């Protein structure tokens, strides 16, 4: 099976399984989404959703958040991990939004990636989920599945993102990256499937007998 054929198979099956793709992080606007995505680094969406109600009760906009002390924020977000770094980033980026963007989350990759704690993946999530701009955020889970399904041989998320964008129509990117995440959580987990178990892995490689080598990003 050719790589494009595998990509078409993956997209067709994911559309059947997940016709709708609700955003997994609870939020009310672009700013609260940005903060939630930042918190999700090395943390589960479930844990983030448990923490953000208290955080957004403290401050749910950059004007109020910029006035808070990082230590106050840190105490609330501690369950998310990396709390000292994340709390500083949240307060600092809030101040930048106030000073440079009139308190509005900018709608450009360049401006988002210039904010503290915001890398390309976080910016891609915000651009796709908040503003509807085509993007393909690739985290470690998507990177792993894309390799298992033979959609990339990239050794990092940058190459994986490039490969996936070439295989799938641009208008499918925003939905597809969520579909892959949903599928990975349900059927193709890091320990539950090694490339030989789940339906899509088997469909892409019906003759595969040994687990594929998966490069960590």
Residue 156, CB-side half-sphere exposure with 13 Å CA sphere: 3
- Per annotation, catalytic residue among 45, 64, 86, 121: 121
For the question of residue 46 being annotated catalytic, the response is no
For the question of residue 121 being annotated catalytic, the response is yes
Determine the Cα–Cα distance for residues 102 and 63; give it in Å rounded to an integer: 9
Determine the Cα–Cα distance for residues 124 and 167; give it in Å rounded to an integer: 18
Residue 105, CB-side half-sphere exposure with 13 Å CA sphere: 22
- Per annotation, catalytic residue among 139, 155, 165, 175: 139
Which of 41, 49, 5 has its CA nearest to residue 23?
49
3-state helix, strand, coil in the chain (%, to 5): 60, 0, 40
Q: Which residue has the tokens 């983030």?
A: 48
Active site residues: 121, 139
């Amino acid at each position: 099976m050719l790589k494009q054929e595998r990509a078409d198979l993956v997209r067709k099956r994911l559309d059947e399984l997940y016709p709708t793709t609700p955003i997994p992080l609870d939020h009310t606007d672009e700013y609260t989404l940005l903060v939630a995505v930042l918190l999700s680094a090395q943390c589960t969406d479930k844990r983030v959703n448990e923490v953000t109600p208290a955080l957004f009760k403290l401050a749910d906009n950059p004007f109020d958040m910029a006035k808070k002390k990082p230590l106050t924020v840190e105490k609330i977000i501690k369950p998310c991990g990396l709390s000292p770094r994340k709390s500083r980033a949240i307060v600092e980026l809030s101040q930048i939004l106030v000073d440079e963007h009139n308190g509005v989350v900018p709608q450009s990759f360049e401006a988002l990636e210039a904010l503290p704690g915001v890398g390309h993946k976080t910016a891609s999530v915000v651009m796709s989920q908040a503003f509807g701009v085509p993007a393909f955020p690739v985290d470690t889970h998507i990177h792993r599945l894309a390799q298992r399904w033979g959609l990339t041989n990239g050794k990092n998320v940058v190459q994986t993102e490039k490969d996936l964008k070439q295989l799938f129509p641009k208008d499918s990117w925003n939905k597809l990256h969520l579909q892959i995440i949903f599928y990975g959580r349900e059927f193709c987990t890091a320990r539950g499937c090694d490339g030989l178990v789940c339906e899509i892995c088997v469909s892409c490689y019906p003759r595969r007998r040994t687990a594929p080598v998966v490069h960590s990003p």
